[in-house]
A and B are shown apart, each in its own frame.
Chain A
Amino acid sequence: QKEVEQDPGPLSVPEGAIVSLNCTYSNSAFQYFMWYRQYSRKGPELLMYTYSSGNKEDGRFTAQVDKSSKYISLFIRDSQPSDSATYLCAMSGSTDSWGKLQFGAGTQVVVTP
């Protein structure tokens, strides 16, 4: 079993809809949670960074972490065609001082006009 599970999709939504993404994990030591967006043939871009449990909002993006359920989510409101990309969840634990990240497989999102 992988440490981080993420549905690879593709997830297709109409423009303006809410995109809902999630990851589950098995390692209870994870405390730092990130969401990255990656366009085709480009490097990942950090969208959201969350420490421990709770919610964080930044513009159209909301990240949620539920450590008790080992479940994290990313919501994108008012989705746009430019949001079409692969979204990767990533996480790391305090026991790793170098901050090595464990990545999910990435979910491909397609926002149709």
Chain B
Amino acid sequence: GAVVSQHPSRVICKSGTSVKIECRSLDFQATTMFWYRQFPKKSLMLMATSNEGSKATYEQGVEKDKFLINHASLTLSTLTVTSAHPEDSSFYICSAREGRGQYHEQFFGPGTRLTVL
């Protein structure tokens, strides 16, 4: 159980284009989803937290107009990198958490490698 998928697993795009990444919880309902960015040999950097049906909360320093997050249902969240530039190239990982309160485990997707040319 507790499977999270991401699509696509890898994407290459030209500078200036927008890219959408999907994150789905396959066997549970995720009230909260998180989006992370990871640089090579570095730990995870939280970008934003999204709750189903409400606006995402972005971490300090993350441009919300550049990284659009939508959490339209309990099983789907999307991250759109708008007007992507080479510096946006990175490994993007989502995670999902079931319920609130006591259970704080997060289950991660396999990640999406974005390369902006």
Q: Which residues of A contact B (CB under 8 A)?
A: 32, 34, 36, 41-46, 49, 51, 88, 90, 92, 97-101, 103-106
Contact = CB atoms under 8 A, between A and B. Distances in A.
A104 B105 contact: no
A43 B43 contact: no
Contacts, number: 63
B51 A103 contact: no
Interface residues of B, number: 29
Given A34-B105, A49-B105, A42 B44 contact: no
B28 interface: no
Interface string B65-107: 0000000000000000000000000010101010011111111
Given A41-B113, A92-B104, A106 B32 contact: no
B44 A44 contact: yes
A103 B43 contact: yes
Interface of B: 2, 4, 6, 32, 34, 42-44, 46, 49, 51, 57, 91, 93, 95, 97, 100-111, 113
Given A32-B104, A46-B106, A106-B43, 7 more contacts: A41-B111, A41-B113, A44-B108, A88-B43, A88-B44, A100-B46, A100-B49
A85 to B, nearest CB: 13
- Closest 7 A-B residue pairs measured CB to CB? A43-B108, A99-B104, A32-B104, A43-B110, A43-B111, A44-B108, A92-B104
